[in-house]
Chains A and B, each alone.
Chain A
Amino acid sequence: MKRADRHRMAFGALARTPLRTAMLLLATAIGVAAVLVLTALGEAARLYIAGEFQSLGTDLLVVMPGRTETTGAGAGMMSGATPRDITLDDARALLRSAAIETVAPVVVGESSVSVGSLERDVTIMGTTASYATIRHWTMASGEFLPDVDMERESPVCVIGSTIGRELFRGEPPVGRWLRVGDRRCRVAGLLAKQGVSVMVDVDTVVMIPVAMAQSLFNSAGLFRVLVQARSRDAMPAAKRFVLATFRARHHGEEDVTVVTQDAVLKTFDGILGALTLALAGIAAVSLLVAGVLIMNVMLVAVSQRTQEIGLLKALGARRSQVLALFLTEALYLALLGALAGVLLGFAGIWLLGGLYPDFTFRPPVWAVAGAVAISMACGMLFGILPARRAARLDPVAALARR
């Protein structure tokens, strides 16, 4: 029997029972589509997080006070109490390296801000002009903090878009005065809407010069220093310089932690990658269910076509030919189902993309290939039992059935 004939015959048998075939295709398709959509969701989350960190720049080092043994977002992150603070002088010393483009010291605290009788508690961030450069922020109006010496307490501030809207009630805030704690500052600029960036709602932040924040919160220590290397390649040199500088300035003690975006990103990547894999696994179960369904229906098909099988044997079909014929049918179901599933999956993903345009929904290539491969394997595996039953039918008994 020629291969083309076997395919034609298997196809003819499937086409004869369109409803049954359509139902089986649907079952397989749903399984494959589920794998695609779920992994696309997992990937979207991963890409979103990756994008967040990418927006910080991959050539960024974060220096935190305190020594942690592990890399990544560790214990020193939230505690201000460390043996030795990072000071503005420390930050300034970092600028001497050729590998370092710029640094931005950061102090963070909570304070009340008010305009007239309107008051609310907000996150205050003390930093310098470099911060906007590092974060690639854009202004809705006015300017960012002035590029002056770190020690200067210029009475200016920059506000997030939500603060601008709520405290100034739609009036242009630039040039107006704002009370921050017990100080007054002039609004130099209004940030363009940034949304949530690295899990901080930038739109509700008020930014003031770092020296002013230090005296406002009565603390000489910095919360962080962001260090931008000249390039990605300069990262190792920059990191070495940072550690050496602090060792020299802190009496030989390396009491800071330097975190690269890559390290943090890798951690998130690992977690979200595992999540995607778990989703894929759950979805693959539905493929298995589809496989069992194919097996059941193929078994019914074999018993419905007992006479036909008997006839083929009487006409000289070998066992292997009958086996191949029914396996081909099962494979056709699996393959066509998988193709339909890929189409269905991409349709679903396209729909999701329309509903949530901020996310990039794209199933990973391995998920598409894997779903198709698993459904083929299922079709094969679950096709074997019915096909063997067909191949082993006793032709006399098969032909005797009416």
Chain B
Amino acid sequence: MSPQLRSSPTPDGAAILRLERLSRSFAVGDQLVHALDGVDLDIAAGEYISLMGPSGSGKSTLLNILGLLDRPTSGEYWLAGEQTSTMSDDRLADTRQRAIGFVFQFFHLIHRMTAVENVELPLMLAGVPMAERRSRAREVLRRMGLEARIDHRSNQLSGGERQRVAIARAVVMQPRILLADEPTGNLDSVSGGEVVRIVEALHDEGLTLIVVTHDQAIGSRAHRRLLMRDGKIVQDLSG
């Protein structure tokens, strides 16, 4: 792993994510669907971005490519100055592990594990020893206000609590980028508000935050708001 990925956000606002004429197409039957169609985008370290648009506009595809879960059909994606198209599968996995945190609409907790075990998962995959990862996971859960829930299994937790466990899991590796795909989509407004407050607090500490959402109220809180339609970014508002 290149050292600059682990360093703190650069103060000069140099692009941490850079997309050049990025396209992604899928074959559906005998038709080629262009989910992303020549997207150019620069995102500086520490930005807070919302990504909105109708269903099928390509925002989830974009998020997946930013998160290295998917690869573009053409175009280039530079992550912290590194070209991702030449990365091996293992390199992509390692980069995902250290640089990127994911939060999903449906939480994706492993039910047989307790809250703290779920948060420990990325640390475990990274080979962090038991004692260290337990204390790190506890610490993050404490910050999420889940101290009392540490040893509960995920099916004993409320929706809001589950999402907070998932956020703890996403940030326990101290990534520079947090990608959230409809993080409040499956929550009531109170829990949703709580989740938004937490991720915004993480952003305040320097995390680059990218949120895909349908919710206008949440989307408008971001400092930079991207609107997508038919695989293209059609609006890019700041301030």
Q: Is there a chain A Cβ closer than 8 Å to B144's Cβ?
A: no
- CB-CB under 8 A from A315, the residues of chain B are 96-97, 102, 121-122, 125, 169
A16 touches B90 (CB 8 A): no
Bin chain B's interface residue count. 20 to 34
Contacting pair B64 A396 (CB below 8 A) = yes
A179, B126: Cα distance in complex, Å? 95
- A12 on interface, CB distance cutoff 8 Å: yes
Q: Which A residues are CB-close (under 8 A) to B67?
A: 314
What residues of B have a CB within 8 angstroms of the CB of A252 in the complex? none
> B108 on the interface (CB 8 Å rule)?
yes
| Chain B 48-72: CB-based contact to A (< 8 A → 1; otherwise 0) | 0000000000000000100101100
Task: Check A399 against B104 for contact (C-beta < 8 Å).
Answer: yes
Main secondary structure, interface of A, reads helix
Query: How distant is the Cα of A308 from the Cα of B110 in the complex, in angstroms?
Result: 7
Is there a chain B Cβ closer than 8 Å to A321's Cβ? Answer: yes
Kindly report which residue of chain B lies nearest to residue A316, judged by CB atoms: B97
Segment 1-26 of A: residues with Cβ below 8 Å from B: 1-2, 4-5, 9, 12-13, 15-16
A9, A310, A319, A320, most chain B CB atoms within 10 A: A9
Q: Evaluate contact between A318 and B94: CB separation under 8 angstroms.
A: yes
Specify which chain B residues have a CB less than 8 angstroms from the CB of A9 in the assembled complex: 124
Cβ distance A14 to chain B, nearest Cβ, rounded Å = 10
User: Is A317 an interface residue, CB under 8 A from the partner?
Assistant: yes
Enumerate A282-323 residues with CB–CB distance to B below 8 Å: 307-308, 310-321
| Chain A residues within an 8 Å CB radius of B70 | 396
Whether, in the assembled complex, B98 has its beta carbon less than 8 Å from a beta carbon of chain A, the answer is: yes
User: Quick check: B93 and A12 within 8 Å, CB to CB?
Assistant: no
Of B95, B96, B102, B112, the contact of A12 (CB 8 Å cutoff): B112
Among B81-113, those with CB < 8 Å from A are 89-90, 93-98, 102, 104, 106, 108, 110, 112-113
CA distance A5 to B121 in the complex (A): 10
B-side interface residues toward A, CB under 8 Å?
A: 64, 67, 69-70, 89-90, 93-98, 102, 104, 106, 108, 110, 112-113, 121-122, 124-127, 129-130, 169, 173
Q: Give 9 new A-B contacts, CB below 8 A, not counting A315-B102, A319-B90, A396-B70.
A: A5-B130, A13-B112, A310-B108, A313-B69, A314-B102, A316-B95, A316-B126, A317-B93, A320-B90
Which 10 pairs of residues, A with B, have the shortest CB-CB distance?
Answer: A316-B97, A318-B93, A16-B112, A316-B96, A315-B122, A311-B108, A395-B69, A5-B124, A314-B102, A318-B90
